[in-house]
Amino acid sequence: MSTWRKAQELAASQGIDTLIVTPGADLRYLTGYVALPLERLTCLVLPAHGDPTLVVPALERHAAVASGVDVEIATWAETEDPFALVARLVGDATTIGLDDHMWASRVFALGEAIPTADQVLAGSLVQQLRIRKDAHEVDALRDAGLAIDRVHARIAEWLRPGRTEREVGADIARAIIDEGHETVDFVIVGSGPNGASPHHELSDRVIETGDPVVIDIGGTMPSGYCSDSTRNYLAGGTVDPAYAEAYAVLEAAHQAQRDHARPGVTAESVDAIGRRIIADAGYGDLFIHRTGHGIGQETHEEPYIVEGNDLVLEEGMAFSIEPGIYFDGRFGARIEDIAVCTTDGLEVLNNTPRGLVSL
């Protein structure tokens, strides 16, 4: 069954007459079409009962057809009102579900074009489908994991004292493409004190001998599925004993989380088991983010591995396990793998060395 048919069934069960989905990961998931988020309206009009229609500007019809979408395509010309076209397709629907990432201008325009219908958020509906990966999707994530592992395996080619984070990051970005990704989504090279900022990215700081360096990298594969992995490196010299002590605790926490995560346990329990190890060692206040996030056609999606999320993990759920410890102004460390729940366990999709790699 196609993904859009599954979405139809969910919409009907939740009292939503029609889904309207604009460009983004949800549209790609439902149709396979990677639409540009232009000022011209593109959207999937998906009734709970009946055939869907992909609305595209006339000049984008060729791209939509070339993507292989299995739904009818309706086009609108430059001087036509696309929202009037959508209104005709929606018909007498009384409840319309909108994707969570729709531009506000689109929401207001649809409200004006279809004033008799109630608008509700429908992102959670599509997430109910996206959160459980099928075998094809797991294969795609496995390929993404292998590709980003190949990049980490080459870090010694570029990371050394005397180079800036930005120079190292540029080399890594090229390698992400060379190793099979379609796009580079992010490159974090956090050297020395910059490693204490989890989302530091890049700067012109010159890497010094003895610096611990956090490298967190990811991209999107031609399949549309994402990679994301973090490893830690020592740029020559000797490691600070305080860093080495904290890193050993981090490794233990990460191992415990990998051992615990499986179908039947809650998302928050995976967070808790690692957080407890870090806190018991005296670093609790230095673990400043959740343990992980889901991953698929977006780098961050459901399920989130965080306190308060009592979602029970199921087969096919894919997510990161990435505890971190951060000493503000000194250094930081984070170990991140992507993992997916199997029938009765966990498959880890990143398998480069997790220990501190001395270069």
> Per-residue pLDDT tens for 153-203?
999 999 999 999 999 999 999 999 999 999 999 999 999 999 999 999 999
pLDDT at 90: 97
249 contacts 277 by C-beta, under 8 angstroms: yes
Whole-number Å distance between alpha carbons of 290 and 109 = 37
pLDDT at residue 1 is higher than 70: no
Against a cut of 0.75, is the pTM above it? yes
55 contacts 40 by C-beta, under 8 angstroms: no
pLDDT at 305: 98
pLDDT at residue 31 is higher than 80: yes
pLDDT at residue 92 is higher than 60: yes
Percent of the chain topping pLDDT 70: 100
Stretch(es) of the chain classified as CATH 3.90.230.10:
135-358
pLDDT range class, residue 6, cuts 50, 70, 90: very high
pLDDT at 2: 83
Angle at 318 between CA 317 and CA 319, to 5 degrees: 125
pLDDT at 18: 97
Whole-number Å distance between alpha carbons of 259 and 42 = 44
Q: Name residue 251's amino acid.
A: E
pLDDT at 36: 87
Contacting residues for 246 by C-beta, under 8 A, at least 6 apart = 281, 283, 286, 325, 327, 333
> Per-residue pLDDT tens for 256-287?
999 999 999 999 999 999 999 999 999 999 99
- Quote the tokens at residue 21: 């989905």
CATH of 3-129, one of 3.90.1150.10, 3.40.350.10, 3.20.20.10, 3.40.1160.10: 3.40.350.10
327 contacts 196 by C-beta, under 8 angstroms: yes
Stretch(es) of the chain classified as CATH 3.40.350.10:
3-129
> Region 328-332: what's the mean pLDDT?
97
Mean pLDDT of the chain: 97
> Region 85-104: what's the mean pLDDT?
96
Contacting residues for 81 by C-beta, under 8 A, at least 6 apart = 113
Q: Does domain 135-358 have CATH number 1.20.120.160?
A: no
> Per-residue pLDDT tens for 111-143?
999 999 999 999 899 999 999 999 999 999 999
> Region 307-322: what's the mean pLDDT?
98
